[in-house]
Structure 1
Amino acid sequence: MKHIILPAVLLAIPTVAFAQAPDDAAADSSTIIVTGEGLELPPGTPAYGSVVIDRQRLLDSASGRIESVLGDVAGFQQFRRSDSRSSNPSNQGATLRALGGNASSRTLMLLDGVPIADPFFGYIPFSALAPERLSVVRVTRGGGIGAFGAGAVAGTIEMASATRDQLPDFSASAFYGSRDSTELSAGLTQDLGGGYVSLSGRWDRGVGFQTTPKDQRVAATVPAAYDGWSTNLRAVAPLSATSELQFRATLFEDNRTLRFKGADSMSQGQDASIRYINRGAWQVDALAYIQARNFANIVMSSSTFRKSLDQRNTPSTGIGGKIEIRPPVGDAHMLRLGVDTRFATGDMYEDAYNANVATNPRTFLRHAGGDQWTTGFFVEDDWTLGGLVLTGGARADRWSISNGFYHQASATTGATTGSDYADRSDWEFSGRVGALYHASDAFALRASAYSGFRLPTLNELYRPFVVFPITTQANAALTPEKLKGAEAGVDLTPIEGITLSATAFYNRLDDAIANVTVATNTRQRQNVDRIVAKGVELTAAAKLGDFNLSASYAYSHSRVRAPGAAFDGFTPAQTPRHAASATVAYSPAHGPSLSTTLRYVAKQYEDDLQSDVLPDALTLDAIARLPIGHGISLVARGENLFDETVVTRNAGGSMDLGTPRTLWIGVSFGR
């Protein structure tokens, strides 16, 4: 992990040429150089305090999973503390800045500029995001909505695909781990004309560990088995000396079993995008994408261990695009103009069963769904005045929620109940401003203020769910969440190779969507008045010879403001006050390497009434590589080496646990 500070160009994703032009051709406009990247980052980007995770750190993950690496950025969290092997996929929303746990993402996650959240649920398909396919990840905590698209109320996580120079012609790895786990991956990258094509695949499976504490297990309790695969095709082709076309397609499927035999879930997706980049005088970034996703889940009764619900089919589609233009307005300015749009539609088909009867008859058939559309127009300008960079932008977003419904039919009589909900639409206006002042090469100050919004997902609007013994009701009347925030920070480079950063922030999320207790064992999604989060984030990085050190700490004081409610003044659910991460890596140019990561998460509450505690947890991960020649290395990995008990769910004492000590041994080639 590397904190990006001075100068501004350091924040940009490195521009790496596929074919190096000879020196005498450097000024030849006919020379075609393919990068496979987006446009360079504006000079004002550091004003919003980004943290970058580089490719080596992505490859040095003990778990081999992107969500674990994102934990390097203190303050990053999912709805549950579980990773994508032992959590229900619909729980895997990403958030930052202690704005409250939510299974839908409050953080906008982008891959090569494309939003990747599920169109119906809003969760992130982490299992489909193989770290070895990525070049870099940039995390912006806060920052509101810039030229990204709607949904960045808690920040933005931008991922970029690996470039040609980072992708060997062939790479592969194979690992065997605790509890009969295997992980296989391979990649093939070949030059094609003036561009290249890269095809990669990954398959993970395992018997899994017992997520249920020993004293709560019954005959029907089983380990959290998982079996998932993904494949990715990426092609980059030059169109001229300054422009190129990028194409990406990803297919994935993930199957998991959680807690009880038969409690199976499945998520799958087929995503494709095409992007046009022009780096000429009039710079252009234009992309279009389509996502086809599905989800299925079987809920078992925790008393009779028979099927109580079969969420058998949840097809959803996301379609969208973006056009950004940067006209030539002089060296002192970078002006960005554009429009982006996203359409999401989805349906939920589920069958309810009577789990108290031996024949386990079907009782109800349910169908729910709807459509969402958001179109935004944005303008942003960065103005460089010597050591001072000023940045500011504004957005106008038109949103609509339409064709919403929830229908239930009796399986025995055919009688139907339910509702069709009125269409809604409105405009949201948001913006952000920032300043970055380079007092010297070793000292910089930054400040920013911003606003943003997030629409409730189709899942939050129309789909109730049960995690025994709690039933959570949907709410078709939910309104958008709206963020206002400000922050200030300082970046220091006391000596070459060492960077230090501190940020103080204040964020207010109005009409925050939360799971509110309305009766015993019953919650409902509701807009609460607001969540106020304030705190401090510290980041440090150092490169000392062959040693690399990085550390991150976040202190968050977060409170719910809901006058008249029982939880007024409480800490939002799923929100720790302290989070920290530290990584020490020894990485010589040749010979063995070692990387260790220590993480701490303070206690947090499962529910809005602070009745169920998730204790704090301290974990240690490590990975060691031993090159044996010809591009082959032996690799050993260890997760949670302390074998810390990590409680991921606590509903009145009914608990789920996170990953115990897990050891891996394997071999890699070309990495």
Structure 2
Amino acid sequence: MSQSRHSETRGCAVIRSPIFASTVSLAAVLATPAAAQESDDEPIIVVTGQGLAETPAAPAYDVQVIERETLVSTSSGRIEDALAAVPGFQQFRRSDSRSANPSAQGATLRALGGNATSRALVLLDGVPMADPFFGFIPFSALAPERLAAIRVTRGGGSGPFGAGALAGTIELQSAGIDTLGTLDAQLLANDRGETEASASVASRLGAGFGVISGRWDRGKGFFTTPVGDRVPATARAAFDGYSLQVRGVAPLTETIELQARGLIFEDERTLRFEGADSRIEGQDASLRMIGRGAWEFDVLGYVQARNFANRVISSTRFVPVLDQRNTPSTGIGGKIEVRPPTGERNVLRLGLDYRRSDGELFETAISAFSGQVSARRNAGGTNTDLGLFVENDLTLGSLTLTGGARLDRYTIRNGFFTERDAAGAIQIDDRFADRAGWETSFRAGALYRLGDGASLRAAAYTGLRLPTLNELYRPFVVFPVVTQANAALENERLEGFEVGVDFAPSDRIALGLTAFDNRVKDAVANVTIAENLRQRRNIDAVRARGIEANAKLSLGEVSFDGGLAYTDAEARGSGAAAALDGNRPAQTPRWVAGATLAWRSAQDWLLSATLRHVGAQFEDDLETDILPAATTLGAFAQVPLADGISLILRGENLTDETIVTRDQGGSIDLGVPRTVWAGVRLGF
């Protein structure tokens, strides 16, 4: 397994500067001259822009690191394409963030999917990125060129990461000034005339640094509807989205670092028919303080404002039938972690984290025949989670042991659903009872180093995920199927264990193999209760057992990076869900595999080809409609033209494989066809 312990100085700025007192304000830090006077006895202040270093026992869990070179050399330039290099990663559907409905873009690992909500916890610089209302990930706002690396922990339960890490944790780490350089920009266009433009500008500010980065993607898109099913109202999957991020890092003392980040984004898409438009937008802000002294600490606070809008078009009359015009939501939270000095061979982690998700839906139902309003609906609520955690790592020679416990206090409250007719008269006015409770989670692992780069590991864990506001209160339609919400949903609980072996005799070879058994109890699934009618319900369990394998080889200028996951997953259901007992969860492939072969020269030439295979999946819980297996070929080329200037060529799905992303009763959507990109990259 490719595992990496990142140095605290990755992407750092190392500058000699006077000692900053702990009371120095951020403004004073940013005003410090970049060329501070040097002397032999002045300390070196190291600004990393990262969180605390991972603990010695982190490799006891199934960890894979995606390095920056992989992030910026995918065939599509999308973050979800880079994550697909991790066997076991999947979204609810195969569509990417240009052609999917955003509300369906949940992230999961270990084939523990089955609905559109994320079962993996996605963090950007420690901040959860899931939408507070829906639980989807705004992949289009997460530009891979802004990142230094991504660390993926498959399984592992919640631990100190926070509730929501049911299937694992995906940690995105922003790049610092030494990684980005002063200017990094690129502009590309494809054979359909679509464009991708991005740029970042970085500057040293005193002993710290600041970065401003932006990205804009737009295009007419491709037809997701098969040729034989197109009608005059059929539209391309047009997209137009931007994101802008501002980030600053500054030292407060020799060992204390302040990090601030702001992110705004908006993304508009059209799916299937003219007028079937969706839009997501968000504004995030976070402030983080990292202490790397004798008492290490990580203090983080954030606020998120998000919105979602979606218009549904009738697939028979091709007129609007539902206008989900406004879904404002807010996420507020933070984390405090402390690592007391407990000796060189021991690492103790103590802390708490908190997240509040608040939001509501405003939508209008429209008659397909008269075009008049038939109903107006309003729904929403508030979820909170306060977690306390403790974890300890102990190294005894070649053996490292780790164990931790977590206690969560959750609330589900203020839930409501209201429906009015066209005249404003109330037809439904449901107020749901508040709920609260305590949940405990545990995880433990062991790592034994055999020598010569070989090691054995084992881990067991439990985890927790609260149902989202979307699952609790918002019904939806994907013609011809109606899916009802369910305010009585219980929390999902994970129980799992895994064993693995890693072999890395040098920095040129890294091999890993993991066998796992995970079970999600009370899993939330879209359960068929009548023809073309489903409801979100807790089924008995979803169980996934399988193997994950990774291999990285480097032979001079040539490298190979491959991975494979085989998962035997099945649902356990009784009562109303008895019909799906023993079935594979919806959208869950049995086999996933990928391999990248690359050549990089000393002159910064880079040529790579990526082959990926996704096995057959069922569209629904009853295994009625099947999505055939798909094998795709992607390519990337970087050709230096001059100092700091390169030609970039990319190819997506070069064999033009037919990728079926949705099949509900013969209503089919397709994924990206063959697409070729060309452009230039500047880096200084």
TM-score range, shorter chain: over 0.9
- Distance in 2, matches of 1:159 and 1:27, equals 37
Matched, 1:74 2:87: yes
Query: What is the correspondence of 1:458-537 to structure 2 with a 5 Å cutoff?
Result: 458-494=469-505, 496-537=507-548
Give 1:378's aligned residue.
389
- Distance in 1, matches of 2:675 and 2:170, equals 28
Deviation at 1:139, TM superposition (A): 0.7
- Distance in 2, matches of 1:491 and 1:607, equals 37
Matched, 1:555 2:566: yes
Give 2:31's aligned residue.
none
Matched, 1:18 2:13: yes
Which of 428, 433, 444 is 2:439 aligned to?
428
Query: Deviation string for 1:573-628 (max 9, x for gaps)?
Result: 11000000101111122152101111000000000000000000000110101101
Give 1:321's aligned residue.
334
Which of 237, 246, 250 is 2:259 aligned to?
246
Contact map agreement 1:35 1:164 (CA 8 A) in 2:
no
- Distance in 2, matches of 1:651 and 1:13, equals 49
- Distance in 1, matches of 2:618 and 2:332, equals 36
Which of 48, 59, 62 is 1:35 aligned to?
48
1:29 to 1:572, Cα distance in 2 relative to 1, 3 A: farther
- Distance in 1, matches of 2:681 and 2:476, equals 42
Deviation at 1:11, TM superposition (A): 5.3
Deviation at 1:12, TM superposition (A): 5.5
- Distance in 1, matches of 2:249 and 2:191, equals 39
1:559 to 1:230, Cα distance in 2 relative to 1, 3 A: same
1:523 to 1:273, Cα distance in 2 relative to 1, 3 A: same
Matched, 1:578 2:591: yes
Contact map agreement 2:324 2:361 (CA 8 A) in 1:
yes
Query: What is the correspondence of 1:103-114 to structure 2 with a 5 Å cutoff?
Result: 103-114=116-127
Query: Deviation string for 1:397-417 (max 9, x for gaps)?
Result: 000000000000001362331
Matched, 1:670 2:683: yes
Which of 341, 346, 353 is 1:333 aligned to?
346
Deviation at 1:496, TM superposition (A): 4.8
Residue 555 of structure 1 aligns to a residue in which SS?
Answer: strand
Partner amino acid, structure 1, of 2:360: D
Which of 458, 478, 503 is 1:447 aligned to?
458
Which of 365, 368, 376 is 2:379 aligned to?
368
Partner amino acid, structure 2, of 1:427: W
Residue 46 of structure 2 aligns to a residue in which SS?
Answer: coil
1:396 to 1:27, Cα distance in 2 relative to 1, 3 A: farther
Contact map agreement 1:374 1:397 (CA 8 A) in 2:
yes
Residue 556 of structure 1 aligns to a residue in which SS?
Answer: strand
Which of 593, 616, 625 is 2:606 aligned to?
593
Give 1:653's aligned residue.
666
- Distance in 2, matches of 1:373 and 1:321, equals 12
Query: Deviation string for 1:387-435 (max 9, x for gaps)?
Result: 1100010000000000000000001362331300000000010010000
- Distance in 2, matches of 1:176 and 1:533, equals 41
**437-446 or 599-608: bigger deviation:** 437-446
- Distance in 2, matches of 1:72 and 1:100, equals 18
- Distance in 1, matches of 2:8 and 2:103, equals 31
Identity of counterpart residues, as a percentage? 56
Residue 69 of structure 1 aligns to a residue in which SS?
Answer: helix
Contact map agreement 2:114 2:586 (CA 8 A) in 1:
yes
1:145 to 1:13, Cα distance in 2 relative to 1, 3 A: farther
Partner amino acid, structure 2, of 1:566: A
Partner amino acid, structure 2, of 1:321: G
Contact map agreement 2:162 2:353 (CA 8 A) in 1:
yes
Partner amino acid, structure 2, of 1:356: F
Structure 1 residue runs of 4+, over 4 Å off? 11-14, 25-29
Give 1:144's aligned residue.
157
Query: What is the correspondence of 1:31-180 to structure 2 with a 5 Å cutoff?
Result: 31-180=44-193
Matched, 1:625 2:638: yes
Contact map agreement 1:248 1:272 (CA 8 A) in 2:
yes
1:393 to 1:26, Cα distance in 2 relative to 1, 3 A: farther
Give 1:406's aligned residue.
417
Deviation at 1:98, TM superposition (A): 1.0
Contact map agreement 1:58 1:132 (CA 8 A) in 2:
yes
**28-37 or 80-89: bigger deviation:** 28-37
Runs of 5+ in structure 1 lacking a partner?
A: none
Contact map agreement 1:12 1:41 (CA 8 A) in 2:
no
Query: Deviation string for 1:331-367 (max 9, x for gaps)?
Result: 110000000000010010000000122xx00110100
Deviation at 1:29, TM superposition (A): 7.5
- TM-score by structure 1 length? 0.97
Runs of 5+ in structure 2 lacking a partner?
A: 18-37
1:576 to 1:28, Cα distance in 2 relative to 1, 3 A: farther
- Distance in 2, matches of 1:219 and 1:592, equals 46
Give 1:610's aligned residue.
623
Contact map agreement 2:15 2:45 (CA 8 A) in 1:
no
Partner amino acid, structure 2, of 1:502: L
Give 1:4's aligned residue.
3
Query: What is the correspondence of 1:221-240 to structure 2 with a 5 Å cutoff?
Result: 221-240=234-253
Partner amino acid, structure 1, of 2:380: G
Query: Deviation string for 1:463-521 (max 9, x for gaps)?
Result: 00000000000000000000000000000125551111000000010000000000000
- Distance in 1, matches of 2:393 and 2:365, equals 55
Give 1:544's aligned residue.
555
Residue 3 of structure 1 aligns to a residue in which SS?
Answer: coil
Partner amino acid, structure 1, of 2:584: T
1:73 to 1:462, Cα distance in 2 relative to 1, 3 A: same
Partner amino acid, structure 2, of 1:162: A
- Distance in 1, matches of 2:42 and 2:520, equals 49
Residue 539 of structure 2 aligns to a residue in which SS?
Answer: strand
Contact map agreement 1:78 1:101 (CA 8 A) in 2:
no
Give 1:392's aligned residue.
403
Give 2:217's aligned residue.
204
Give 2:32's aligned residue.
none
Contact map agreement 1:11 1:45 (CA 8 A) in 2:
no
Partner amino acid, structure 2, of 1:536: I
Count of residues in Structure 1 that have an aligned counterpart in Structure 2 = 662
Residue 499 of structure 2 aligns to a residue in which SS?
Answer: strand
- Distance in 2, matches of 1:17 and 1:93, equals 32
Contact map agreement 1:274 1:289 (CA 8 A) in 2:
yes
- TM-score by structure 2 length? 0.95
Give 1:418's aligned residue.
429
Give 2:29's aligned residue.
none
